[in-house]
Structure 1
Amino acid sequence: MGSDGMDIGFLGLGIMGIAMARNLLKKGFNVTVWNRSPGKCEELAKEGASIGSSPADVVKKCSITIAMLADPSVAISVALGPGGVVEGITPGKGYVDMSTVDSATSSQIAKAIEAKGGDFLEAPVSGSKQPAEAGTLIILAAGSESLFAKVKPAFDAMGKKSFFLNDVGSGAKMKLVVNMIMGSMMTAFSEGLALADKAGLSQQTLLEVLELGAIGNPMFKLKGPSMISGKCPTAFPLKHQQKDMRLALALGDEVGQSMPVAAAANEIYKKARSLGLGEQDFSSVHQALTQEAANASDSAKAAA
């Protein structure tokens, strides 16, 4: 099913949003964009996008508006704040929030949209910069099933698979579980690289051994070489990974699930943020562990 000239609004042109909006343009959708800093809008205007003056303005112009925002506070201000999405919603319009937020935030936005007669879908994604650019994201949608059917052609332009998970909150929860596992795996991987190095082993050989075994995975293969070199181009900022760990742990508290591994991983991300690594790729958590090791060895030398 093609775009059929469908009008889609797109709010938020960060690392992910700009790539996703670009894929919609490439597939023939009429896209109207808005971003807090307007420079990114100009970039997409050159590729055929229209520019909205506010989220409400975008919603008024489009039958369906998609948002890809940084965190719960931004998602709420763009939806419910002055000039926000809710101001532009009228019966029959759809709002699809693809940001990674907690289920309470999703529910709050859903109620406000539905009170104005609009349809709401939360649709967080699994995948970072490269899948966003390639149009191979995994989309975890929940909320209005009729809106899911309407927006499916747009999802197909941005992702390789869309899941419909029923009630609002389920998409948010599934995304937090996925990112909690990813974040915990990354800290274990970082510890392994650091330990191999300290034990006089080749980190490169470790990567080859891991890739051939049962725990080989695309993340280790993609991130490992840049982690060894210490140059990690930002695909998913570390501050967002820590935010997802925090939200996942809060979900664990809510449902009474013990999460000792995720809790320990969260502390390592917090340490990395305190070292000023928040804007860098989440794989930079490796530097927090190696820096800690270097500091410990300096202290040992000083004590000797």
Structure 2
Amino acid sequence: MIVSNMADFYKLGDLVWAKMKGFSPWPGKVIEPREGVKKPSKKHCFFVYFFGSENYAWIEVANMKPYFAYKDRLINANKTGPFKEAVEAIEKFVIENNVSDSSRKRLNSSSPGSAKRARAEARMKDPSITGSPSTFNSKSQRVSILLDRPVHIQRPDTPPLDIGSVSQTLKDKKIEPSPLKFGFLGLGIMGQGIVKNLLNSGHAIMVWNRSSEKCSDFVSAGAKEMMTPSDVIASADITFSCVSDPQVAKNVVFGNCGVLQEMTPDKGYVEMTGIDSETSQDIAEAINGRGGRYLEAQVQGSKVQAEEGTLVILAAGDRTLFDDCQSCFQAMGKNSFYLGEVGNASKMNLVLQVMAGVTLAGLAEGMALADRAGLQQKDVMEIMELTSLACPLMIEKGKAIIEGGFPTHQPLQHMQKDLRLGMLMGDALELPLPLTAATNEVFKHAKRLGYGEHDVSSVYIRTRF
């Protein structure tokens, strides 16, 4: 029989199997929507609490099945520890809330093809979303819940940047700041650390960011906020740009109130956004067309290196501009390399990012394999640190996987962007990149699961399942 109104199929309190894309069906219960959780545009969906993980999400009715009717076949389909704990939690809930045998029989006799399925006589109170104190009594339990629950986590809060603190690394450099005036476009994860070190090394800095609230702390530390990118260009001798991706980089240059409007022969423009060589060359032509000087300065490193001033800077383009930026590069990083004509730095950066991405996917896969094999991941890391595999990237991201919080040092979506650009570079050169292509798919899937703004180490979530 065809169901005429799918919205009548489930009611509050019903126990169900709910499936999110990329995850196995999970025991849950239809509950009242939580305040502030927006309902998706699709009509037939229900708000479901997930046992064991103690989380909740909107689920389409097509991805839900009655709990008792499908209990036997679905319990045998998943053998993971967290899943077993979730089943134990729902069974305990059934007992404690006295779901009667008659209710179970009616639920078992129901099928998705019924116009109206039988209802449980007892309506159960919603389980606590926060869980009991014993639920989170150890780090291992918290990590288990994080990694195995059938919904993605919210992005962890990024600790506030202490702009006034000067790292010992920066002090040891004893930088003589350039008398030139510098502008900086973009105060994201990388930009904030870079500007902090420029200010603390004595450089005169003007800043702009799409969301102006990020500028306030830097203004208090001595920077001057400008209203538009063109205002920065007009006031600065040399302007750095560090935004999210190639398209945003182009928008900053070519858009309304953009860089080109105030570009003149006495101005310099340094593009630090992770971009492809074609985008860099397009920007270079536009800047040079107005008489300005252009330099691409790609950076290797993440949030920690940006804040400590230990980035590696890969530059290409106008050599005189490279020389004029030396005091700034000294504040930003531990080394700067001049690689010749425009495009070389972008290519070098993508080569290194491809290597890093493939390495991270291998690390995540290995840690997932160890976990599934019953090995302790901390033992894996302890042994790995004594082998030739040990390097800062593997050690840092391996520890992040064990901790399970994935605070953002380098956004996963930025790594996936670089892998995609690396593949396009390979296509242009007719070079097969099968490992890069496979790695890109892993990162894409993790991004689709909602981890794009988390740290690159959260690619483990994809390999774990």
TM (norm. structure 1) is 0.94
Provide the rounded CA distance (Å) in 1 between the counterparts of 2:428 and 2:384: 35
Whether contact under 8 Å (2:178, 2:327) holds in the other structure is no
Provide the rounded CA distance (Å) in 2 between the counterparts of 1:260 and 1:207: 28
Structure 2 equivalent of residue 230 of structure 1: 404
Percent of residue pairs identical: 45
For the pair 1:91 / 2:265, whether they are aligned, the reply is yes
Aligned 1:197-212 pairs, distance under 5 A: 197-212=371-386
Provide the rounded CA distance (Å) in 2 between the counterparts of 1:20 and 1:239: 21
Query: How far is 1:152 from its partner?
Result: 1.0
Provide the rounded CA distance (Å) in 2 between the counterparts of 1:260 and 1:167: 29
1:254 pairs, out of 416, 428, 432, with 428
1:160 pairs, out of 308, 321, 334, with 334
Provide the rounded CA distance (Å) in 2 between the counterparts of 1:92 and 1:147: 11
Aligned 1:142-157 pairs, distance under 5 A: 142-157=316-331
Look up the equivalent residue of 1:249 and give its one-letter code.
Answer: M
For the pair 1:49 / 2:227, whether they are aligned, the reply is no
Aligned 1:1-12 pairs, distance under 5 A: 2-12=176-186
Query: How far is 1:92 from its partner?
Result: 2.1
Q: Secondary structure at the match of 1:161?
A: strand
Provide the rounded CA distance (Å) in 2 between the counterparts of 1:89 and 1:29: 21
Provide the rounded CA distance (Å) in 1 between the counterparts of 2:378 and 2:257: 52
Provide the rounded CA distance (Å) in 2 between the counterparts of 1:246 and 1:233: 23
Query: How far is 1:273 from its partner?
Result: 1.1
Whether contact under 8 Å (2:196, 2:218) holds in the other structure is yes
Whether contact under 8 Å (2:274, 2:298) holds in the other structure is yes
Larger radius of gyration: 2
Structure 2 equivalent of residue 24 of structure 1: 198
1:71 pairs, out of 231, 236, 245, with 245
Query: How far is 1:35 from its partner?
Result: 0.3
Provide the rounded CA distance (Å) in 2 between the counterparts of 1:266 and 1:122: 25
Q: Which string of whole-angstrom CA distances, capped at 9 and with x for unpartnered residues, describes residues 9-64 of structure 1? A: 00000011011011100000000000000011111000000011111110110110
Whether contact under 8 Å (1:5, 1:28) holds in the other structure is no
Look up the equivalent residue of 2:182 and give its one-letter code.
Answer: I
Structure 1 equivalent of residue 370 of structure 2: 196
Look up the equivalent residue of 1:281 and give its one-letter code.
Answer: D
Q: Secondary structure at the match of 1:28?
A: coil
Structure 1: tracts of 5 or more residues without a match? 293-304
Provide the rounded CA distance (Å) in 1 between the counterparts of 2:403 and 2:184: 36
Structure 1 equivalent of residue 391 of structure 2: 217
Provide the rounded CA distance (Å) in 2 between the counterparts of 1:89 and 1:225: 46
Q: Which string of whole-angstrom CA distances, capped at 9 and with x for unpartnered residues, describes residues 234-259 of structure 1? A: 01111111010000001011111121
For the pair 1:107 / 2:276, whether they are aligned, the reply is no
Provide the rounded CA distance (Å) in 2 between the counterparts of 1:146 and 1:80: 24
Q: Secondary structure at the match of 1:124?
A: strand
Structure 2: tracts of 5 or more residues without a match? 1-174
TM (norm. structure 2) is 0.62
Whether contact under 8 Å (2:360, 2:457) holds in the other structure is yes
Q: How many residues align?
A: 291
Provide the rounded CA distance (Å) in 1 between the counterparts of 2:250 and 2:206: 20
Q: Secondary structure at the match of 2:294?
A: strand
Provide the rounded CA distance (Å) in 1 between the counterparts of 2:187 and 2:436: 30
Q: Secondary structure at the match of 1:123?
A: strand
CA RMSD in angstroms comes to 0.9
Task: Extract structure 1 runs of 4+ deviating beyond 3 A.
Answer: none
